[in-house]
Amino acid sequence: MTVRRARPSDALGIATVHVASWEATYRGLMPDPLLDQMTVERRTRSWTQLLAADRDGETFVAVDDERIIGFADVGPARAAEDGTGEVYAIYVDPDAWDRGHGRDLMVRSLDWLRRHGYTAAILRVLDGNDRGRSFYERGGWQVTGDVVIADHCGAPLPELTYRTGLVEEPPGGSG
């Protein structure tokens, strides 16, 4: 398995993982009509646009035997001070969960943010996504207490904010 920057031709592979991972994670947490309209065709269109766009962020894909099995999308934080980046999305195909691919995508994403000068990163996770929360907490992310009520097609759903520092502590701490 390798992690590399996404190319425009990856849109279908990313969309396929996106839809499968949404279905496995959010069915029962999000309204059914919202999930029902989340099709590979629609997602491929939006990923095609995003991957072609000139933007500050970056998308990474995890590839196994030429098949995309996960992706992560990062960039500047949508609502935070300068110097804070954001992991907008990180999704692995359910058939490939718990094999370290999410961790590899996260390492690459945080490395990208660090190299682009960000000193901290945030992300948002739907309240009730226990797998996602556990994954972040195992990775050292800390819940901030900020809750955003996100509008998912008319359904207001609470999203928890997590934060992590990106600056390495010097050996021995701050003394």
- Binding residues for ligand COA, rule: CB under 6 A, are 21, 25, 90-92, 97-103, 125, 129, 131-132, 134-135, 138
Minimum CB–partner distance for residue 39 and ligand COA (Å) = 18
Cα–Cα separations (whole angstroms), residue 8 to 30, 55, 67, 137: 29, 14, 15, 32
In whole angstroms, what is the distance from residue 80 CA to residue 83 CA? Answer: 8
If the CB atoms of residues 78 and 131 are measured against ligand COA, the closer one turns out to be 131
Cα–Cα separations (whole angstroms), residue 153 to 25, 37, 53, 156: 17, 10, 24, 8
Minimum CB–partner distance for residue 24 and ligand COA (Å) = 7
If the CB atoms of residues 107 and 120 are measured against ligand COA, the closer one turns out to be 107
CA-atom Rg of the chain in angstroms: 16
Q: How far is residue 166 CA from its own chain's centroid?
A: 17
Residue whose C-beta lies closest to ligand COA: 102
If the CB atoms of residues 46 and 52 are measured against ligand COA, the closer one turns out to be 46
Q: What angle do CA 21, 123, 75 make, to 5 degrees?
A: 95
Minimum CB–partner distance for residue 70 and ligand COA (Å) = 7
Letter for the amino acid at 157? L
If the CB atoms of residues 25 and 44 are measured against ligand COA, the closer one turns out to be 25
The answer to whether residues 99 and 64 touch, using CB atoms and an 8 Å cutoff, is: no
If the CB atoms of residues 70 and 118 are measured against ligand COA, the closer one turns out to be 70
Minimum CB–partner distance for residue 175 and ligand COA (Å) = 29
Minimum CB–partner distance for residue 96 and ligand COA (Å) = 7
